Amino acid sequence: MTPARRGNLVEAGVLLAAIALPLILEALGEDFYIGFATRLLIFALAATSLNFIVGYGGMVAFGHAAFFGGGAYVVAFLMQAGIFSAWIAWPLAVLAAGVAALAIGALSLRTRGVYFIMITLAFAQMIYYSIVSLQSAGGDDGLPLEQRSTLAPFDLASDTTLYWVALATLAACLIALKRLAHSRYGRALAGLRQNEQRMEALGYPVDRLKLVCFVIGAGVAGLAGALLANQNGMASPTQLYWTQSGMLLVMVILGGVGQRYGGVLGALALLGLEEALGLTTEYAHFYIGLALLAVVLFAPRGLAGLAGLRAR
Amino acid sequence: MTQLVLEQLLNGLQFGLMLFLIASGLTLVFGIMDMINLSHGSLYMGGAYLGAAAAQASGSFVIGLCAAMLGMAVIGIVLELLLLRRLYLRDHLAQVLATFALILIANDLVRMIWGPQPLMLNPPAALAGPVELFGFSYPAYRLLIIAIGLAVALLLYLLVSHTRVGMWVRAGAANRTMAECMGVDVRWLFTGLFALGAALAAAAGTLLGPLLAVQVGMGENILILAFVVIVIGGIGSIRGALVGALLVGVVDTLGRALLPTLLRAVSAPEVAGHLGPALASIMIYLLMAAILFWRPQGLFPARA
């Protein structure tokens, strides 16, 4: 069996297990964990979208929370205006995040390196303070959702359905990511990561290629935010704050920058560890911090690198 | 109205000078080693807790301040030798991950030792009252902070501009490799600088303790402001950090105090109350983004 085929089999097996998970949890009477598993999937999606920008586009963006949290607020705002349908609200969340990223990216891409890190941070903080200042957005308390979005013909009020929707979204994004990485565009991005000047000399529109990458990543983050608002029942300002951007970046680095499953692995490891440690200690973050330090020092390529998953 | 403006200007000066204490260490670390240190805010928080605890135990604010600076300097040296030293040559992502991990560790460590409740830190009894100043009364303690901040700024200026060590620091910030080639032991220099930065952050934490709450998470808010300051001023430049800190301190404080009043003239009071402080914060980030856009090297570039 070739490694590629074996990889496909593993992927199919994991997907089947993920589909069956809520049924197994229900049978075990552990329904509570369906919500937690949904959260995992949503953060895996958000981290994957950031990994696309950082790992594939080579841009260390430190303001991803703006798009992630922003998507959540779009859903909450629309619900306030009486629009409950996910078919309208979620694409609008993607669109809003994408348009914001188009503006932010166009300005930010004039800078490089640490300056890019700082300018993306600055724009994200501006969005954070703008939304916190709006009274109609609930200020520091956030904006509660009256109910979950409606996604006819599915019933999102059921936790299991929301889980499956999140899973389907994540799977679709991962497949799209794989195809994108192997497309002409993906190859151009890979070339950019290696040598930007050479690509420019070859006639590639460097900044436009990177901007498209930034916008795609942000759009997917907006979708993840829309899902998160439904899972949490609210849009909260902490999802917009810079520590959220930091957390997503930590997930990506932990999982493996530029590895196809880096975002998924990172989100799984970080949130899983948080939940498991939370059962036994009040100070879960202390031990998570130590584990992250160990990864930095001893596994520079992240968990995906440790597991030998090299796939892009 | 002029009295209010004057008072808020002094408050802005005071906050700006404290920001400078935090940003000066951060800008040197950032400038010389090209290292993103997100845990600098944790040094500030650690200093505030150490200071509050030592002041409570000894009954003396001055002892608390000294203990905080000394304690955080030692912790800074240990951190630098054990961990940060291994990160200088790694990429920014590894630095972000490691120093974010330090934030998580520091926040929980503080909760383990001192519990989740904020600590109380009282200003020295002799300075608890107000003093008469240009016809209005102003808290004596805030005046002391301004004096200390100005003194530290002057000392740092003398240290960086007029001593041999300062020359090495400037050389390291301008071109690290060249400085190393000319015989500057940048490794040793950096351990010392990191200890100094930690002590200054701890001083800011303790001095601001009586004005802001000493609590978990206090470092995260101020850290980003410190980054804004050093980006505005120019990464690696002490002079830039001072100008940036004063700019940010005054804009933030004046904006928070005056914008709600101004906005009340054009909008409903409750809207103005929310919008004012947020606008002040947005203005600061707008300033930073504008500088990054038009003058990414900052107002006072340190790199040649």
Which alpha helices (H) appear in B83-131, and where do they start and end?
Answer: 92-114
What are the two backbone dihedrals, phi and then psi, of residue A292, each rounded to the nearest 5 degrees? -65, -40
The minimal CB distance from A114 to the residues B36, B279, B285 is found for B36
Is the pLDDT at A309 greater than 70? The verdict is no
| Residue with more model confidence, B170 or A224 | A224
**How many structural domains compose chain B?**
1
Question: Could you tell me the two tokens for A87?
Answer: 């078919």
CATH number at residue B25: 1.10.3470
Q: Does the residue B205 lie in any domain?
A: yes
Q: How confident is the model at residue A308 (pLDDT cuts 50, 70, 90)?
A: low
Residue B304 and residue B285: Cα distance in Å, rounded? 26
> How close, in Å, is residue B133 to chain A by CA atoms?
35
The secondary structure of B4-66 as a DSSP string is: HHHHHHHHHHHHHHHHHHHHHHHHHHHHHH----TTHHHHHHHHHHHHHHHHHHHS-HHHHHH
Could A286 and B292 be called an inter-chain contact, meaning their C-beta atoms sit closer than 8 Å? Answer: no
A&B contacts, CB < 8 Å? 131
Average pLDDT of the residues of chain A: 89
Per CB-CB distance under 8 Å, the chain A contacts of B274 are: 133-135, 139
pLDDT tens digits along B54-71: 998 988 889 999 999 999
Contacts with B104 from chain A: Cβ below 8 Å: 285-286, 288-289, 292
B127 falls within a domain:
no
Mean pLDDT along residues A268-278 = 91
Note the pLDDT of residue B301. 81
In this prediction, residue A310 carries a pLDDT of 52
- Cα separation of B205 and B199, whole Å? 10
Find the range with the poorest average confidence among A177-181, B72-76, B131-135: B131-135
Q: Are A107 and B96 in contact (CB < 8 Å)?
A: no
| CA distances (Å), origin A166, targets A157, A225, A263, B272 | 13, 11, 15, 39
Quote the domain boundaries for residue B260.
13-122+148-294
> How far is the alpha carbon of B195 from chain A, nearest alpha carbon, in Å?
21
Closest to A118 measured CA to CA, from B300, B20, B93, B231 = B231
Q: Which two tokens stand for residue A196?
A: 């930007």
ipTM of the complex in this document = 0.86
In the structure, what pLDDT confidence band is assigned to residue A188 with cuts at 50, 70 and 90? very high
Supply the pLDDT for residue B119: 87
Question: Which one of A60, A133, A134 has the shortest CB-CB distance to B93?
Answer: A60
For residue B209, tell me if it sits in a domain. yes
pLDDT in tens, A88-141: 899 999 999 999 999 999 989 988 888 899 889 989 998 998 888 887 777 788
Closest chain A CA to residue B109: A286
Query: Among residues of chain B, what percentage have pLDDT more than 90?
Result: 35
Domain locations along chain A: 3-242
pLDDT at residue A311 above 60?
no
Eight-class DSSP state of B217: T
Q: Do B97 and A135 touch (CB under 8 A)?
A: no
Q: Which residues of A83-108 are buried (b: 16+ CB within 10 A; e: fewer)?
A: ebebeebbebbbebbbebbbebbebb
